[in-house]
Amino acid sequence: MVLFSFDEPKRPENNEYIVTFPDKQVLNFNFVSIQLNRLNWRDYLRYPSPIAAALMAKMQFEPEERARVKLECLRMIATLKLDPARTQLISGFVDTYLRLDGVEEERFERELENLGLVE
């Protein structure tokens, strides 16, 4: 299994790796490929798990959804009742791979306030 986490390209990636010499094929390896940028993040909101919470940050979403995606990732992490080390590891992954600019950060804070999560 291969987990592709890149942002581009969005075209389907190959699920086969072949090594050949001019006169002979020496390797033909087939694998299952999971391409995060082709999976819609909303499809994973129904499946609360540490893996879903982390990987939604690298899935397909519209640019204007960035703040909402981060909020939902962090909300899922909070509802999982993980130990502090796991919580920090997964939220660190989300923070690293879903960095918000100033405008997005303001939107994120507003959405937190609207949910009553900030005083």
Query: Strand pairing of 16-21 and 24-30?
Result: antiparallel
Over residues 55-111, the pLDDT tens digits come to: 999 999 999 999 999 999 999 999 999 999 999 999 999 999 999 999 999 999 998
Residues 76 and 100 in one domain: yes
Per-residue pLDDT band for 25 (boundaries 50, 70, 90) equals: very high
Q: What is the DSSP letter of 22?
A: T
19: β partners: 27
Residues 66 and 87 in one domain: yes
- Domain around 9: 1-38
Residue type, 7: D
Structural domains in the chain (count)? 2
Beta strands in the chain (DSSP E): 2-4, 16-21, 24-30, 33-35
Residues 48 and 89 in one domain: yes
Residues 51 and 99 in one domain: yes
Q: Which two tokens stand for residue 70?
A: 């981060």
Residue pair 32/63 in contact (Cβ under 8 Å)? The answer is no
Residues 13 and 54 in one domain: no
Residues 33 and 48 in one domain: no
Residues 22 and 46 in one domain: no
Residues contacting residue 17 through CB under 8 Å, at least 6 positions apart: 27, 28, 29, 31
Per-residue pLDDT band for 118 (boundaries 50, 70, 90) equals: low
Q: Which two tokens stand for residue 8?
A: 């581009």
Model-level pTM? 0.79
Residues 74 and 34 in one domain: no
Residues 20 and 5 in one domain: yes
